[in-house]
Structure 1
Amino acid sequence: MQRGTTLFLRIAVYFIGIMVLALFIFWLPRLANDTAEMFPEFSYLRFPVLIGLYVTGIPFYFALYKALKLLTYIDKSNAFSELSVNALRYIKYCAITISGLYAIGAIFLLAQNALHPGIAIIIFTIIFCSVVIAVFTMVLQKLLKSALDIKSENDLTV
């Protein structure tokens, strides 16, 4: 397969990674400081919430890395391989981890009586999107695994 066929997807993955990194570096600390100034009764939650958000960045960037590896496998005409199945498995685990971390964060904020309805909507949207990604990658993983099984059976019969 030609290298340029996945170029748009690579650019999109890099763009998403750069945008999220810019949000982590510039927007989140400023938002945390502004929120702590506006609501001083919840200022003690500034650093735990920031740390929780930064921790969710680890599986996010790992999933982006595995997505780039998957695009590399597609470029090298190696899409139907165990490497692709493993990359999809890791992406699924990262999506489950992200949704779990946000669920724990929502429970933590609810226990602190600091879960604003707007924040709850954002948290549940992220959880829902992560679960959708996990289910989609699980279906793709099973589909790819069954295609590999059929391919190996065909190779044995020929």
Structure 2
Amino acid sequence: MKQVTTLFLKVAVIFIGIPVLALCIFLVPELGNLAAKLLPQFAYIKYFVFIIFYASAIPFYFALYQAFKLLRYIDKNEAFSDLSVNALKKIKNCAITISTLHVLALPLFYLFAEKDDAPGVIFVGLVVPFASLVIAVFAAVLQKLLKEAIDIKSENDLTV
């Protein structure tokens, strides 16, 4: 049963990565061109868009890789190990990096909102940083709980 659930989660991790890859291939260049059109006085803003979104894709895929490794540790009955704690720590750091990069892009959303007179665009720009911040907090909590469980397990192994 455990193998089936981890297989399902591994497939889900792969399917999470596919839409982000499609966004990076198709949507990011369009967003960069749109930014250059909307703000012709800042034509170089297109490269800022490319840097922010492509740079945030790198820690995203690294975090997916760490999640995949975490699922492999569960398959091998190594879930309660320092390897799992380190994987959760790396996922937390990746989520913080993504959140920081997208917060840096918030002025761009402000410029779009001001140009189109649509203040809701700023809230759309807050979705990714907020979601990745939630993931970072969740990973930090899991990391702490797992570390405490490992410590308790090692204490019990020493007393027996």
Tell me the TM-score normalized by structure 1: 0.88
Partner SS for 2:78: coil
Q: Which moved more, 1:43-52 or 1:75-84?
A: 43-52
Q: Given that residues 56 and 98 in structure 2 are in contact (C-alpha distance below 8 angstroms), is that contact kept between their aligned partners in structure 1?
A: yes
Is 1:149–2:151 an aligned residue pair? yes
Amino acid aligned to 2:106: A
Higher normalized contact order (CA 8 Å, seq sep 6+, divided by chain length): 1
- Specify the alignment match of 1:130 in structure 2: 132
The one-character-per-residue Cα deviations of 1:61-96 (angstroms, maximum 9, x if unpaired) are 110000000000011111000000000000000111
Query: Percent same amino acid among aligned pairs?
Result: 58
Q: How many residues align?
A: 155
- Specify the alignment match of 2:83 in structure 1: 83
Q: How far is the alpha carbon of 1:33 from its aligned partner?
A: 2.5
User: Structure 1 residues 114, 34: closer, same or farther in 2, change over 3 A?
Assistant: closer
Tell me the TM-score normalized by structure 2: 0.87
Is 1:56–2:56 an aligned residue pair? yes
Runs of 4+ in 1 over 4 A off after TM superposition: none
Matches within 5 A, 1:22-101: 22-37=22-37, 40-101=40-101
Q: How far is the alpha carbon of 1:103 from its aligned partner?
A: 1.4
C-alpha RMSD of matched pairs (Å): 2.0
In 2: Cα distance, 1:154 partner to 1:40 partner? 66
Gaps of 5+ in 2: 114-118
Q: How far is the alpha carbon of 1:39 from its aligned partner?
A: 5.1
Q: How far is the alpha carbon of 1:35 from its aligned partner?
A: 4.7
